[in-house]
């Protein structure tokens, strides 16, 4: 039906474009006569073109139903492209475009900008590929491709103690969890003799070597839990998000988290379907427990923070708990398409509203406003447009119907109730109510409190402003447009099961 | 006769030594070496099971894990270098600027 016949490998175009952009950025930097003199405008323009190109391909493929009727398999079944791949690609490319735009102002005075942008694109390539992995080999490779540049990016401000400390902690826990992930894969290989997802599912034999398989599954879940900052592996998240350059915090907490979840959806529905492994290890119970602990701990810790950025970091852990409901509620009675689709939708909406909220913090850092709630007092008088956007992000994160966060949470909790897990939805709803308290503290500081300091705001950075406004507009537009995207997401989930 | 179970016990032992190193040592370089042990424990498993099942998947993946371990060390050493420049130490428990 397509007007243009593309070769099969073109299904990977979004990832290929991102990788090519990373290399082009390296090239531009290396042909400059003087080191580190590349124009930031050129770097940002190339980056933006790459990110939007990848986004365009993702959206085009989604509309043209590429791989959505039957997954496109590539490289002997190591990679595949289906609806979920494209949904993740859309999330990553959108967040990447916003982050590139915001970075133009945020790192304007820092050296090694070309390297910064290149690493950003390499990480984005890994995240996009995580959506199309079809074996544990490619899963491990894509996970590392997204993690390794991220470590360097978090420690990018290398004269800043906070940034270096954040990079160190992220790296230490990341290296540890990737070793655990690798060992888990080796045990699964030992139990099944294969690394392809579908071959693993076919070879799962609960009677032979149940111990090895069970430990392997738990270790793989641990590796994924690190990437998504789910509770036993969440320690790095507040430190890394607080110390990192703020656009990087936004990128990691939105795109990287989405990539980790999509990988989890893929592994636990394709390689370890619950009916095959239920007697070895019932991961439904595991994820239900983790979802409750993650939602409660993330939201309570967020409520006690003084720093706005750290509050957002903990709230990001809480949101990981909400999305985990999508896996925890895959009970036999559940409407599985709806449950998984709701998880993807929340990741999509979260990508915009959370990136926007972090970028507002980046804007405040750009103006040297300070980091606590009190420092934000009265900021709306100086920056009303950005403050309106921030208010939309925060209320949408809390689940009020000013942004699409309301609908995605509603569908998610509704799907959990439909799966017979009303208590899981109740915990989620209570956690959301609590989250309104600490999100509202920021809104109150912005609009109601009198300024506690004289702001020295003389410039309004174009890139940061544009990124924040675009994120806010999309967050609001997804409210009426929710039906449109939900169809694609639920269809993508349906193809998986 | 050395069977696949012996290799499994060996790899579990190597993995456990790695975990112990991660828990007990606060020197960042020791941490890197311990993680390396854990990755190599995975490699022992992969190669042993590859022989057991008679397919090459495990051996190829073991090669990839080695390459990735090298890449990870490269990034890690870079971060440890800036850690030393900023804090004058490579003890991972020293940097606590964010904890109040």
Q: Please name which of A431, A254, A373, A234 lies closest in space to residue A314, comparing C-alpha atoms.
A: A234
* CA–CA gap between residue A232 and residue A238 (Å, rounded): 13
Kindly list the residues from chain A whose CB atom is less than 8 angstroms away from the CB atom of residue B97: 161-162, 165, 243
> Could you give the angle at the alpha carbon of A436 between the alpha carbons of A430 and A438, nearest 5°?
115
**Among A83, A79, A84, CA closest to A66:** A83
Of B28, B35, B60, the CB nearest to A179: B35
Say yes or no for a CB contact (<8 Å) between A137 and B15: no
d(CA A465, CA A360): 9
Taking a C-beta distance cutoff of 8 angstroms, is the pair A132, A115 a contact? no
Q: Which residue of chain A is at minimal alpha-carbon distance from B58? A: A189
pLDDT of residue A205: 73
Residues 354-393 of A with CB under 8 A from B: none
Measured between CB atoms, does B17 come within 8 Å of chain A?
no
Chain A residues within an 8 Å CB radius of B75: 148, 151-152, 171
Residue of B nearest to A194 (CA): B57
Give how far A179 is from chain B: nearest CA, Å: 5
Going by C-alpha positions, the residue among A156, A270, A278, A142 that lies closest to residue A210 is: A278
Mutate which of A112, A190, A213 to test chain B, going by most B C-beta atoms within 10 A? Answer: A190
CA distances from A92 to A193, A250, A399, B95 (A): 33, 11, 22, 32
A37 exposed, middle or buried (CB, 10 Å; 0-12, 13-18, 19+)?
Answer: exposed
* Nearest Cβ partner for A137 among B43, B49, B61: B61
> What is residue B42's three-state secondary structure?
helix
Instruction: State the nearest Cα–Cα gap between A233 and chain B, in angstroms.
Output: 15
Backbone angles phi, psi at B54, to 5 degrees: 70, 20
First to last CA, chain B: 58
pLDDT score of A274: 82
The predicted structure's pLDDT at residue A143: 95
* B16 in reach of chain A (CB within 8 A): no
- Look at B68 and A141 and tell me if their CB atoms are within 8 Å: yes
Q: Would you call B10 an interface residue with chain A, using a CB distance cutoff of 8 Å?
A: no
pLDDT at A378: 86
Q: What is this model's ipTM?
A: 0.95
Chain B's closest residue to A138, CA to CA, is B61
Q: Which residues of A touch B24 (CB under 8 A)?
A: none
Longest dimension (CA), chain A: 70
For B35, residues 6+ apart whose C-beta sits below 8 A from its C-beta are A175, A176, A179, B18, B22, B72
pLDDT the model gives residue A1: 45
Contact list in A for residue B35 (CB cut-off 8 A) is: 175-176, 179
> How many angstroms separate the CA of residue B73 from the nearest CA in chain A?
9
- In the predicted model, residues of chain A with pLDDT beneath 50 are 1
B87 interaction partners in chain A (CB closer than 8 Å): 161, 164
CA A213, CA A431: separation in Å to the nearest integer? 34
Interface touch A161/B61, C-beta < 8 Å? no
For position B99, what pLDDT does the model report? 58
Q: Look at residues A321, A472, A444 and name the one whose alpha carbon lies nearest to residue A386.
A: A472
CA angle centred on A478, ends A473 and A482, rounded to 5°:
170
A417 inside 8 A of chain B by CB? no
Question: Cα angle at A127 between A121 and A128, to 5 degrees?
Answer: 90
Q: For each successive 10 residues of chain B (100 residues), what is the average pLDDT? A: 86 95 91 94 94 90 94 94 90 74
Note whether B14 contacts A: Cβ–Cβ < 8 A. Answer: no
Of the candidates A135, A228, A217, the one whose C-alpha atom is nearest the C-alpha of residue A181 is A217
For position A103, what pLDDT does the model report?
93
> Residue ranges of the domains in chain B?
4-87
Return phi, psi of residue A319, to 5°. -70, -30
Q: Under the phi-then-psi rule, with left for phi > 0, alpha for psi from -120 to 50, and beta for the rest, what region is A67?
A: left
Per-residue pLDDT tens over the stretch A383-415: 889 999 999 999 999 988 888 889 999 999 999
* Phi, psi dihedrals of residue A73, rounded to the nearest 5°: -100, 140
Do A475 and A356 form a contact (C-beta atoms < 8 A)? yes
Would you say A152 and B67 are in contact if contact means Cβ atoms under 8 Å apart?
Answer: no
The secondary structure of B44-92 as a DSSP string is HHHHHHHHHHT-SHHHHHHHHHHHHHHHHHHHHHHHHHHHHHHHS--BT
Could you tell me which CATH class the domain B4-87 is placed in? mainly alpha
Q: Which residues on adjacent β-strands are paired with residue A72?
A: A81
Q: Kindly report, residue by residue over A291-350, the tens digit of the pLDDT.
A: 999 999 999 999 999 899 999 999 999 999 999 998 888 888 778 888 888 999 999 999
Per the listing, tokens 């990679």 go with A79
Q: CB distance from B13 to chain A under 8 Å?
A: no
Asked if B45 reaches chain A (Cβ–Cβ under 8 Å), the answer is yes
Tell me whether B76 touches chain A (CB under 8 Å): yes
* pLDDT for the residue numbered B88: 87
CA distance A120 to A247: 10
User: Which among B8, B22, B97 has CB closest to A190?
Assistant: B8
Those residues with Cβ within 8 angstroms of residue B73's Cβ, 6 or more apart along the chain or in another chain: B32, B36
A496 reaches B (C-beta below 8 A): no
Q: What is the pLDDT of residue A493?
A: 82
Burial readout A219-245 (b: 16 or more C-beta within 10 A, e: otherwise): bbbbbbbbbbbbbebbebbbbbbbbbb
Asked if A111 reaches chain B (Cβ–Cβ under 8 Å), the answer is no
Closest Cβ–Cβ partner in A158, A172, A190 for B92? A172
Q: Do A179 and B42 touch (CB under 8 A)?
A: yes
Q: Which residues in chain B have their CB less than 8 angstroms from residue A183's CB?
A: 15, 38-39, 41-42, 45
Interface mutation vs chain B, best among A126, A183, A308, most B CBs within 10 Å = A183
Closest chain B residue by Cα to residue A142: B68
* Residue B32 confidence (pLDDT): 93
Angle, CA A226 vertex, CA A124 and CA A350 arms, to 5°: 55
Q: What is the DSSP letter of B94?
A: S
């Amino acid at each position: 039906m397509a007007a243009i016949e593309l070769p099969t490998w073109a299904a990977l175009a979004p990832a290929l474009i991102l990788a090519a952009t990373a290399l082009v950025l390296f090239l531009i930097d290396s042909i400059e006569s003087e080191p580190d003199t590349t124009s930031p405008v050129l770097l940002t323009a190339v980056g933006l073109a790459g990110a939007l190109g990848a986004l365009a391909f993702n959206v085009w493929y989604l509309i043209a139903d590429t791989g959505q009727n039957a997954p496109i398999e590539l490289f002997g079944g190591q990679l595949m492209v289906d609806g979920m791949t494209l949904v993740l690609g859309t999330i990553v490319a959108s967040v990447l475009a916003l982050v590139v735009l915001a970075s133009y102002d945020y790192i304007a005075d820092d050296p090694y900008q070309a390297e910064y942008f290149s690493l950003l694109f390499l990480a984005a390539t890994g995240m996009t590929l995580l959506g199309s992995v079809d074996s544990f080999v490619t899963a491990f490779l894509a996970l590392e491709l997204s993690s390794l540049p991220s470590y360097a990016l978090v420690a990018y401000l290398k004269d800043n103690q906070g940034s270096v400390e954040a990079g160190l902690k992220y790296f230490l826990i990341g290296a540890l969890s990737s070793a655990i992930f690798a060992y888990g894969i080796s045990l699964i290989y030992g139990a099944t003799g294969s690394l392809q997802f579908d071959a693993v599912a076919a070879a799962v034999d609960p009677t032979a070597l149940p111990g090895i398989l069970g430990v392997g599954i738990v270790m793989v879940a641990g590796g994924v839990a690190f990437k998504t900052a789910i509770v036993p592996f969440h320690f790095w998240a507040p430190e890394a998000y607080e110390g990192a350059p703020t656009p990087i915090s936004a990128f990691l907490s939105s795109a990287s988290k989405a990539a980790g979840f999509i990988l989890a959806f893929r592994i636990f529905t394709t390689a370890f379907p619950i009916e095959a492994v239920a007697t070895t290890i019932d991961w439904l119970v595991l994820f239900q427990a983790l979802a409750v602990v993650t939602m409660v701990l993330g939201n309570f810790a967020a409520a006690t923070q003084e720093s706005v950025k750290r509050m957002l970091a903990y709230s990001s852990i809480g949101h990981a708990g909400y999305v985990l409901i999508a896996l925890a509620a895959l009970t036999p009675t559940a409407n599985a398409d709806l449950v998984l689709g709701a998880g993807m939708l929340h990741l999509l909406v979260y990508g915009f509203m959370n990136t926007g909220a972090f970028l507002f913090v980046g804007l405040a850092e750009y103006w040297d406003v300070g980091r606590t709630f009190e420092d934000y007092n009265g900021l709306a008088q100086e920056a009303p447009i950005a403050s309106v956007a921030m208010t939309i992000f925060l209320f949408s994160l809390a689940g009020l119907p000013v942004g699409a966060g309301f609908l995605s949470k509603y569908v998610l909790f509704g799907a959990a109730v439909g799966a017979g897990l009303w208590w899981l939805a109740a915990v989620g709803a209570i956690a959301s109510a609590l989250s309104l308290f600490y999100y509202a503290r920021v809104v109150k500081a912005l609009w109601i409190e009198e300024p506690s300091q004289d702001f020295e705001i003389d410039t309004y950075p174009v890139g940061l402003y544009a990124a924040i406004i675009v994120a806010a507009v999309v967050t609001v537009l997804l409210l009426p447009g929710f039906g449109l995207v939900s169809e694609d997401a639920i269809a993508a989930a349906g193809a998986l099961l | 006769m050395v069977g696949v179970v012996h290799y499994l016990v060996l790899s579990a032992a190597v993995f456990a030594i790695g975990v112990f190193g991660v828990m007990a040592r606060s020197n960042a370089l020791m941490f890197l070496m311990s993680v390396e042990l854990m990755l190599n424990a995975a490699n022992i498993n992969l190669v042993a099971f590859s022989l057991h099942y008679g397919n090459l998947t495990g051996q190829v993946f073991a090669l990839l894990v080695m390459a990735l371990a090298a890449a990870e060390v490269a990034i890690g050493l870079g971060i440890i270098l800036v850690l030393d420049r900023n804090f004058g130490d490579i003890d991972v428990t020293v940097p606590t600027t964010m904890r109040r």
